[in-house]
Structure 1
C-alpha cells in the first residue's frame, strides 16, 4: 500500500474519536460540570395548567420570603425588557407577561440554594388565571372563523419571506404555480386525491436540555450548555436579549451532548439562566425535567395535506395539486411560511404542472420547531401513499411508477432548480430487491396477515449561513482543528479529522478537534438541516489548504525554491528541483531568538494558522414582484435522497404491527465514514418506526396527557426485526461542491419509513391508513370499519 493510500481516510470506517470516553464514562456532559461549583443556585419553573388564559395576578411574596430563595422572576418584572420581544415568551422559555398560550408555558421562575427549596417556593406562588378559548387542532385553527390562539394585544407577525398573514392564526403562506394545472388535470386519464394527517411528536433525546451560567465580576457570564450553536444561536440570542452585555462578556461552551434532532435549535434554558445569574451575581444551573421536555420544549410540526394527482395511462404523472397546513404551535413570530414541509413534495418527482398552497398556522400547543426531516416526513407521507393509490388504479407496479417519474440529474424540479445530484433510482431498486417485492407474502391462515411496501424520499438542505474553521499546525507536525459545529452524537469530530488527515496526508492520530467554545473556536451557525458535513467540512478543507500553502511558502524559502515546487505530505515537505529531497515539518519551526523574528521563519511557540470560511450561496428570492409563481433557480442548497422497503405482519384481531424485514438505502454523496453513515441509517430507521407506528402527543382539555416515557411510547428492540433482516445500503451519488463530494444524509432516512409501512399494511389487510402514527388502535379501527362496510 502506498503512503498516499495509507493517508487517504475518505471512505474509510475510522473508529469514532469519542468512543473511548463515552464507553468508559469519562465523557463530561454539561451536568457533570456542576460538581466544580460549590455555590450553585438551581432554577425551577411554575408552568401554566391552561392551554390559553389571561394572567390576572401573581402573588410570589411567600416564595420570595422563603429562606434559601435567591430570586423570583415574573414576566412582568421591569428589569426583563426581553419579555416584550414578541417571540421571547414562547421559543425561549421565558415567563409569560400577561397571557399564557399553551399548557406548559413558563409563568414564574425561582432560583434557590437547592432544587428542593426551589420546588417548595413554587408551591407558595399564587396565580389567578382567567381561562380563554383555545384551539389545538391545526385544521380548526386554519378556519377563517377559528378561535384566536392569542388575544389581539399580542398581535401576529408574518412568517419568513415577507408573506402576509391570511387569517386569525395564519403565520405565513407559500404558493407555487408551475405549468397549467387545470389543463393538465383535464387531460389526465386517471385522477386520485386524498387527505392525510401526520401528528405531533417529541424528539425524546435522553439528555434533557440544560445550562450552567457562571457569573464573572464586571458583569460577564460563561454559559456551559447542551444547546445548539454556541455562536450562531446561544451567544447571538443572549447578546440580543441583554443589550447590556457585549461580545467579550459572553462565553459559550458546548460539552459532550446527547442528541438533539432539532429540539435544541432554539435557546430554551439559557436566557432565563443568564438573567438569574446577572440578578444574583451567582452561578446558576437550569435543567428541564422529562415532563418539561415533553410539555415545554418544541415538538415537530404536524402537517395536514390534501393532495390530488393526475396521470396518463402509461403512468406519467402530469399534474399535482396540494393544500398543506403546518402546525407551528404557540408562537407569535417565527420563520414558518409553509415552504419547509412542501419542499419534500417538490424534490422527488418530475411533475410538469404543480399548484401548491401551503400555510403555517398557530395552535395552543407547545411551540413547534425542526424535527429530524424538517417537515418532509410529515408531508411526503401523503405523496408516497397517493402514489401507491395511483399505481393500483393504473394496474402498475409501485416500483415501476416511481422509477418512471422520479427526477433525473440535469432535470429541473417544480421550484425551477436544476438537479445536480440524485441517486434515488438505485436506492429504490435496492430496497425492492432486498424485500423481494414481486414475490407474494405467505399467509398462514391465522389472525396475522402479511404485506410488503416501498417508498421514496427526498429532503432539502437549507442555506443556513457560513461556517469558519481554523487549522493549527504545531511544531511537532500535529494538526488541531478549531471548529464550533455542534457534535450531538453524529460523529462529526471523527469525519472532520478524516478530512484534515487526508488533506495533509498524515496519520489521523496526529489530528485533534477542539470542541465548540466561543473563546477559542471561530464562528459557525448551528447544526441543523444536515449542513455540518457540507458547510463545516468545506470550511475545514479551505483552512487546511491555507495552512498547507503557508507551510509550502516556509519550506520553499528555507531551501530557496518557489512554493509551487513544494509538496506537503506524511509530515514532511518534499521538493522538486532541489538536491534536498525533503524536510520534516517540525524542522521548519525554529526556536525563539531575536534573529528569527526578523526572518520569515516559523517559530516553535507559534503554530501555523490556516483560516477557512465557507458560506453556501443564499437562496434566490421567491417572493415579491416578478416572483408571483413562487419559483426560483435556487431555493435550497442541494437534496439528499433515500428509499425504504418493509415486510410487515398485521394482527386482524388487535391491530398490532410487527416489522419482519426492512431495507433502508441512502444517497450520501461520497461517504466520508461508511460505518458512521450506517449508524445514522440504523438510528434514523428506529426513530422513524416510532414516528410511524407509535409515539405521538395525546391531548385532552388542551393538555398533553402522556408527558413521560411510560406513557409516551418509543420503539425498543422489540419493534425491530432480527438483525439479519435489518438491512441497509449506501448508494452514493457525488455532490459536485460537497467536501470530497460528500453530502449530509441523516434526515432523509426518516421520511420513507411511514409510507412504506402503510403500503405493506394495505397489502396485508386491504385498508390504507391516512393518519400517522399508525397505532394499533387506529389500525384496528380501520379493520372494523372495513368489516362494517363489507357487511352492508
Structure 2
C-alpha cells in the first residue's frame, strides 16, 4: 500500500501507550541513577517584601546538597524574565512564586529542609484582577521591565503612550478610520462587556525535568516540556552560559502540553542545580504547584460594540480587549496582538477599531494556552453576533453566513484569507443539531435550548522546521524529527506524509524523534504549526531523498539519473536497461583489504534533507495593516443543545456537533480525536474551570477536587455527539493540509451561552457559566418580570 495521506492510519505510539511501555518523564525520573531531588519554597502571598531569608539550618539539614535562590550567579536573564522563574530583589509578586530550591538525596529530605528555612515577609498591596490593575493609582506589579519588553513590537502604533496605569505593558491597536460614522448608520447596535476567567492546563503529568551531569560537564536534559531545540537547548545555552555542544535535550513521551509547557522554567532550574552540585537532578512540581507556579492562560476582559443594518449586514466593530497576563512580562505586545487577532479572520466588519492591552496582575504568569487568547476574545464576538441575530429576528446561521469572509478576501488587518471552510463547518453543525428548530421541552424544571457559534484562529510564524530521512543499506527507512508530540498524533501524520512521497509501506519507516544530538532542528510545535511547517519539511526531505537515490543508483549501474525512478524500495530503470532493482542489493559492505568505497556504500545511508521556514510579509502600513502577518487561519464551528435547571441554574450539555476546517486532512481519525478532546476541554473552560483566590491572593482551589475539569459525566453520550471535517485546501500546505486543534476550543463556549439564553432567557457574559451565576441571572430576570 502506498496511498497513506487522507487515511486513518493507526498511531505510531498506540502499542506502547496501551501496553504501558511508553516512557514518560515520570519514568525517566523514577529510573534516574545517583540523583538528587529538588523541592521549592514558594511565596504564600501575592505581593510581599522578603525581610529575612536565613538558609543556614536548611543547608546543614540531612541529605541537602545544594540550595538556589534568585541571586544565583551565572545566569543571563535577558531572553526570559527572571521573575517568572525565581523571586528577585527580595520581593515576591505572586502567590506560588519560587523563592528557593533545595536539592537533597531524597525528596522527603528536600521537603524537610524547606521547613527549616527561616523567612519573614512584609505583606504589600496586591492586584489580582484587571479592574484593580488598570486603576491609575494602583500598585505597579512589574513596571521596571516595561520599557525594555515593550520595544519588541514591530508595529509603531503598538508603542504605548500616556498609560492609564503602570500595569499596562503591551498593546495592539487598529483603526480603519470610520467606525464612529458607520455606527451612526447602523439600525441595530449590540454593546456588552465580557470576561473569561483564569485557567490551568491541568495535564495529568505535572511539569517535570531531569538533568544529568557527566564528568566532562555535559548536561543531558529530559523533560515533558516543548521545543527541544528552539526553546530548551538554545534558551539554556544563552541563559546559563553552557555551550550548545555541552547540552543535549531529549523528549520522552509527553503527558500533554496544550502550549503551557513552552516556557523552559523546569529545564532552567534543573540545569542550574545540576551544574552547581554536579549530580543528576530531578524536579517535579506538585499538583498544587502546577496551578500556583506553572504558567496559566490569559483571562480576557472584552468590551464590544457591534452595529448592523436591518438585513443583518454588519457595518462596524468597536472592540476593546484587556488581557490579564499575570506577574511577568513575557512578549506582552505579542499577547495583545494574539487575542485581538480573534477579530480578524471570520467576519467582514465594514469598519473596525481594535484596542488591545496586556495588563499585569499579582497572579501566576500567563503563557501559551490552547488558542493563545483567541477563544477568550472570540467569546465576546460570538455572543454579540448571536444577540444581534436575536434582535434582528434572524437565525444564528443566517447572520453568520451573511457576514463571513470568503476565500481570497482580505480581513480587517489587510491579510488575504487563503483558505476558509467556516461556511461549510457552520452548515454541518447546524444540520446535526437542527439549530433552526426549537428544542422539545419535557415539562420539567429542565429547560432546553440550542445555540451555535463559529471561530477562527491564526497560525503564528514560529521559525523553521527540518526533517531528515535515511534510506538504510537494508532498504529500511528512518525518519528523523524533532517536532513535539504532545499526544495529538503529529508523528503519525508526518510518517504518513513520508510514506506517501516515497511510495513505501509505512511499516518500513521507523521514526527517530526528539534528541538534539541526533535529530534536526525544529523550533517547537505550538500554534498548530506541526502539520503545516514540519509537514512541508518532511515532504521536502522525502523529495530530496528520492533525488539522491536516483543519482546514487544511476552512478552505481551506469545510467543517467533521469532514467531512474524510485518506488518504495525499488529502482525502476528506463531506457535500454529497463528493469527493476531492489535498491538494497546495490549496497555492499567495505572490502577490508581493498581501497575505496564499493557500490552505494559511499554516503550510506542515502540521506534526504528538508527545511521549511514560512516568511510572513510584515510591512506595516500607517493604518496598522499588512498583507500577511500570519501563515494561515484555521476555522471551526460548534452547535449545542443544553438543558438548564430553572431551580438550581445547573447547565447540562445534551448534544454537540463540532466541525473543523483542517485543509485536506492527513489522518481523519486523528482530526476526530482532536475535535472530541477539544470540545470537552472547551466545556470545562466555559462552564466549570476557574481560579479562586483567598485573602492573601493565593489560589485556594489548586487541586483536581476543587478545580473542576470536566469528566466523561459532563459531556453528552457518544450517540449525541457529531464530529465533522469540512476541508478547504490550503494552497501552501502539504497536500493542502493545515492544523486545526486550537480552533476547536473557540465556539463551544459562546454556543452554550446562546443555548442558555434560548432555554431560560438570560445572557451569561462571563466564564465559567456556573450554576450559581446562571441561577442569579434567572432570579434577577424573574424579579424584573414580577416588577412590571
TM range (shorter): over 0.9
Unpaired runs of at least 5, structure 2:
none
Q: Residues 740 and 151 from structure 1, CA distance in 2 versus in 1: closer, same or farther, beyond 3 angstroms?
A: closer
Q: Residues 71 and 582 from structure 1, CA distance in 2 versus in 1: closer, same or farther, beyond 3 angstroms?
A: same
Q: Residues 146 and 472 from structure 1, CA distance in 2 versus in 1: closer, same or farther, beyond 3 angstroms?
A: same
Moved more, 612-621 or 405-414: 612-621
1:309 equivalent to 2:306? Answer yes
Could you state the TM-score of these two structures normalised by the residue count of structure 1? 0.96
Q: Which residue of 1 aligns with 2:748?
A: 753
The Cα of 1:147 is off from its aligned counterpart by: 2.2
CA contact (8 A) 1:309 1:317 kept: yes
CA contact (8 A) 1:160 1:335 kept: no
The Cα of 1:67 is off from its aligned counterpart by: 1.8
Alignment of 1:487-502 (within 5 A): 487-502=485-500
1:250 equivalent to 2:247? Answer yes
1:284 equivalent to 2:276? Answer no
CA contact (8 A) 1:554 1:601 kept: no
The Cα of 1:95 is off from its aligned counterpart by: 4.2
Q: Which residue of 1 aligns with 2:394?
A: 396
CA distance in 1, matches of 2:366, 2:225: 16
CA contact (8 A) 1:171 1:333 kept: no
Spell out, residue by residue over 1:273-326, the C-alpha distance to the aligned partner (whole angstroms, 9 max, x if none).
111111111111001110000110111100011011111111110111111101
Q: Which residue of 1 aligns with 2:4?
A: 9
Q: Which residue of 1 aligns with 2:640?
A: 646
CA distance in 2, matches of 1:559, 1:704: 71
Q: Residues 194 and 597 from structure 1, CA distance in 2 versus in 1: closer, same or farther, beyond 3 angstroms?
A: farther
Q: Which residue of 1 aligns with 2:111?
A: 119
Q: Which residue of 2 aligns with 1:484?
A: 482
The Cα of 1:156 is off from its aligned counterpart by: 6.7
1:89 equivalent to 2:82? Answer yes
Q: Which residue of 1 aligns with 2:679?
A: 685
CA contact (8 A) 1:590 1:604 kept: no
1:323 equivalent to 2:320? Answer yes
Q: Which residue of 2 aligns with 1:270?
A: 267
1:590 aligned counterpart, secondary structure: coil
Q: Which residue of 1 aligns with 2:70?
A: 75
Q: Residues 123 and 599 from structure 1, CA distance in 2 versus in 1: closer, same or farther, beyond 3 angstroms?
A: closer
Q: Which residue of 1 aligns with 2:612?
A: 614
Spell out, residue by residue over 1:136-177, the C-alpha distance to the aligned partner (whole angstroms, 9 max, x if none).
111321233322113759987316415434330111111111
Query: Of the candidates 771, 776, 781, which is equivalent to residue 786 of structure 1?
Result: 781
Q: Which residue of 1 aligns with 2:624?
A: 630
1:665 aligned counterpart, secondary structure: strand
The Cα of 1:758 is off from its aligned counterpart by: 0.5
CA distance in 1, matches of 2:3, 2:37: 49
CA contact (8 A) 1:306 1:323 kept: yes
1:30 equivalent to 2:30? Answer no
CA contact (8 A) 1:653 1:780 kept: yes
Alignment of 1:541-690 (within 5 A): 541-593=539-591, 598=596, 601-603=599-601, 606-622=604-620, 627-690=621-684
CA contact (8 A) 1:86 1:333 kept: no
CA contact (8 A) 1:483 1:522 kept: yes
CA distance in 1, matches of 2:537, 2:551: 21
Q: Which residue of 2 aligns with 1:147?
A: 139
The Cα of 1:439 is off from its aligned counterpart by: 1.6
CA distance in 1, matches of 2:151, 2:425: 35
CA distance in 2, matches of 1:102, 1:181: 39
The Cα of 1:589 is off from its aligned counterpart by: 1.7
Q: Which residue of 2 aligns with 1:236?
A: 234
1:58 equivalent to 2:57? Answer no
Spell out, residue by residue over 1:226-254, the C-alpha distance to the aligned partner (whole angstroms, 9 max, x if none).
110011011111111112x1111000010
CA distance in 1, matches of 2:174, 2:459: 19
Q: Which residue of 2 aligns with 1:450?
A: 448
1:603 aligned counterpart, secondary structure: coil
2:253 aligned counterpart, secondary structure: coil
2:576 aligned counterpart, secondary structure: coil
Q: Please report the RMSD computed on the Cα atoms of aligned residues, expressed in angstroms.
A: 1.7
Query: Of the candidates 416, 433, 436, which is equivalent to residue 435 of structure 1?
Result: 433
Q: Residues 372 and 732 from structure 1, CA distance in 2 versus in 1: closer, same or farther, beyond 3 angstroms?
A: same
CA contact (8 A) 2:213 2:219 kept: yes
Q: Residues 514 and 97 from structure 1, CA distance in 2 versus in 1: closer, same or farther, beyond 3 angstroms?
A: farther
Spell out, residue by residue over 1:387-425, the C-alpha distance to the aligned partner (whole angstroms, 9 max, x if none).
011111111111000000001011110010111100111
The Cα of 1:597 is off from its aligned counterpart by: 7.2
Q: Residues 597 and 638 from structure 1, CA distance in 2 versus in 1: closer, same or farther, beyond 3 angstroms?
A: farther
Spell out, residue by residue over 1:246-272, the C-alpha distance to the aligned partner (whole angstroms, 9 max, x if none).
111000010111100011011121111
CA contact (8 A) 2:149 2:332 kept: no
CA distance in 2, matches of 1:679, 1:604: 44
CA contact (8 A) 1:178 1:352 kept: no
CA distance in 2, matches of 1:735, 1:332: 34
Moved more, 330-339 or 470-479: 330-339
CA distance in 2, matches of 1:474, 1:110: 48
CA distance in 1, matches of 2:644, 2:32: 54
CA distance in 2, matches of 1:312, 1:427: 25
CA contact (8 A) 1:69 1:110 kept: yes
Spell out, residue by residue over 1:188-213, the C-alpha distance to the aligned partner (whole angstroms, 9 max, x if none).
22211111111100100101111111
CA distance in 1, matches of 2:609, 2:159: 41
The Cα of 1:351 is off from its aligned counterpart by: 1.6
1:134 equivalent to 2:132? Answer no
1:676 aligned counterpart, secondary structure: helix
Moved more, 447-456 or 555-564: 555-564
CA contact (8 A) 1:409 1:419 kept: yes
CA contact (8 A) 1:49 1:103 kept: yes
Spell out, residue by residue over 1:505-533, the C-alpha distance to the aligned partner (whole angstroms, 9 max, x if none).
01000111112010001111111000011
Q: Residues 569 and 170 from structure 1, CA distance in 2 versus in 1: closer, same or farther, beyond 3 angstroms?
A: same
The Cα of 1:605 is off from its aligned counterpart by: 8.2
CA distance in 2, matches of 1:156, 1:637: 27
CA distance in 1, matches of 2:30, 2:329: 39
1:675 aligned counterpart, secondary structure: helix
CA contact (8 A) 1:54 1:99 kept: yes
The Cα of 1:704 is off from its aligned counterpart by: 0.6
The Cα of 1:621 is off from its aligned counterpart by: 3.8
Unpaired runs of at least 5, structure 1:
1-5
